Amino acid sequence: MIVEIDPVTMGLRILKYVVVHDCDTVINPLIVAGQIQGGVAQGIGNAFYERLAFDTQGQLINGTLADYLLPTAHEVPSIEILHQVTRSPYNELGVKGVGEAGAIPVGALFAQAIEDALELPARGIDILEIPLDPGRLWELAGAR
C-alpha cells in the first residue's frame, strides 16, 4: 500500500494497493477478484473510517449512516491482484478458501503506510491502533 497525505488537510489517498493471494488453483478469477476487492474495501473501512463513538452515558452517537463513516467507491483504490499457487497439505484436493482474506492485513498496512508518509518513526512514534481516521491523523502529525 502506498498512500499520500495532504499535510494541510490530512486528507488521505491510496495511490497503490497490491495483493498477492494464494488459494491454490483459481477456478473462477472474477469471483476470487471480487472476494479480495470486497475484503480490501472492508479492511479500509475498518482501518480508516469506521469508529464507534459513545457519549458519556455509553450511548452510541454515530449509529446511522449519516454519522458513521464508510468508504465509498471513491476511497477504495483499484487493486492489483496477483496469485501465488501452492497446494494445501491439509486436504486431498490441495485447495484453500478465498473468503475475504483481503481484509486481514489492511489495518497493519494502513498503519505502516501512514507512519511512512508522516515520517513518524523518525520522531519516535509507532502507530499501534486503528481506526486511523482524519482526526487521529491530526493528532499524530502534531505529536512531538
pLDDT digits (tens, 9 = 90+) for 98-144: 877 788 899 999 999 999 998 898 888 899 888 887 788 888 888 64
Asked if residues 45 and 71 have their Cβ atoms less than 8 Å apart, the reply is yes
pLDDT score of 61: 93
Q: Which one is the CATH code of 2-142: 3.30.365.10, 2.160.20.10, 1.10.3720.10, 3.40.50.2000?
A: 3.30.365.10
Beta bridge partners of 14: 3
Model-level pTM?
A: 0.83
Q: H or E segment at 5?
A: strand 2-5
pLDDT score of 23: 84
For 11-32, what is each residue's pLDDT tens digit?
889 999 999 988 888 888 899 9
Q: What angle, 0 to 180 degrees and rounded to 10, lies between the N-to-C axes of helices 106-117 and 29-44?
A: 60
Asked if residues 129 and 137 have their Cβ atoms less than 8 Å apart, the reply is no
Residue found under cell 497446494: 87
Q: Could you give the CA distance from residue 13 to residue 67 in angstroms, rounded to a whole number?
A: 21
Q: Could you give the CA distance from residue 44 to residue 89 in angstroms, rounded to a whole number?
A: 31
